[in-house]
Amino acid sequence: MNKRKREEEEEEEGIRMGTDIVWQTPANPPHPHDYIFRNGIRYVKPYYFEFIAHVKNRWAGKTIVDLFAQEFKGRPYEYYVSAVKCGRIQVDGERVPVSYIVKSSQKISHFVHRHEPPVMACEVPILQKELDVLTVCKPASVPVHPCGQYRKNTVVGILQAEHGLAPVFPVHRLDRLVSGLLILARNASKADIFRQQIEGGLVRKKYIARVVGEFPKDELVVDANIDYNAREGRSTAEVRDSAKGKAASTKFTRISSNGAQSIVLCEPITGRTHQVGNYQIRVHLKHSGHPIANDMLYISDETVNRSSKGSSADRSACTSATALTSSIEEKVVNDCEEKSNVGFSIDPMCTNCPNLAPKGYDTDEEGLWLHCIQYSGPDWTYECPYPDWAKLTQTI
């Protein structure tokens, strides 16, 4: 293809972009027809979306193409050249040449064919629905709220699409690979009350984990600082008087054991808010010599041999929700699969088409055997049933 023909096609794409495509923004709510269910996986039908950013001081002085190529490396340089030429990248709402030098605080729009990462095709069961509080059983693999490449494939997005529940305000954090109780306030004032109680140390949290080995019968309290290593992408436990990391303490109590693995109650006592239910429990279990049995970030080769892999933790977490509404969920998923056997528009400029999922995402990803079962405050308690993976089979 010669240069002139390519430029003509890019010009045509720019015209089509302005006339035929309906661009979504964060203001556009998700709908049930946005999802595609295949082989137990929930996909989001790719859609056109406008990403908006403002030029940071360190970006100023770069060409628009160099800015994107250096700061957003998920696409090749040639894509950004074409995107600028056809108007899919704009500055202050205007098309600019590829040599355009950006200035601080300018608005940059990137119009993309958005592919969201897939999650397990689990229902999000509603546990309690009150006037100003909603509690659900969050499945593993589903993020709580829009973040990164996830927008519709989130608990907040699914609740809005499938239950018409919006707005909702997540009160606490559960990592994407963690399942269990999630509390959502139904108005900003109630969310602020929860926030004050959590920050004031008035809220207790309980999780259960499935760990490697026979956990001690006696209660175990781990006091060890949590130090995050950005290079390795994980945290380590440091001795309490170490200058490294932040102070944290977690109480563990064995619930059951079959010798090879144990079910353990985990109660964070102190620690940074964002660590609770996340790295604190995982790191402290690793520090105790009994890491979560499928936590490949913290488990060692030695402990892998001591633990049977079992079933996919994502699917196990799904069955914890299924235990609540098994027959209903099966009907919902099957009905969705029947109704979502449709294709989607292929975008000629998209670097992810014709695949449903964006590049680099594995549909076989496992969740963690870590599940939130209870949150309690000064005058309230919310609970979530145990997942099926908490039932250990006896070893011979």
Q: How many CB atoms lie within 10 A of CB 393?
A: 10
Q: Could you tell me how far CA 87 lies from the centroid of its own chain?
A: 31
Alpha-helical (H) ranges within the chain are 3-19, 64-71, 77-85, 155-163, 188-199, 279-288, 301-304, 313-339
From edge to edge, which strands make up the β-sheet containing 107-114? Answer: 47-54, 107-114, 89-91
Active-site choice (20, 92, 132, 175): 175
Task: Pick the closest to residue 263 from 215, 312, 199, 296 (CA basis).
Answer: 215
Cα 371–Cα 173–Cα 180 angle in degrees, nearest 5:
25
- Provide the token pair at 343: 């294709």
- Residues constituting the chain: 396
- Provide the token pair at 223: 């006091």
| Contact (CB, 8 A) for 311 and 389 | yes
- Provide the token pair at 20: 């035929």
66 is annotated as an active-site residue: no
Alpha-helical (H) ranges within 164-278 are 188-199
* Cα distance between residue 298 and residue 162, in whole Å: 36
376 phi, psi to nearest 5 deg: -140, 145
Query: What amino acid occupies position 319?
Result: T
End-to-end Cα distance, the chain: 68
* Cα distance between residue 194 and residue 345, in whole Å: 43
Q: Active-site residues: which are they? A: 175
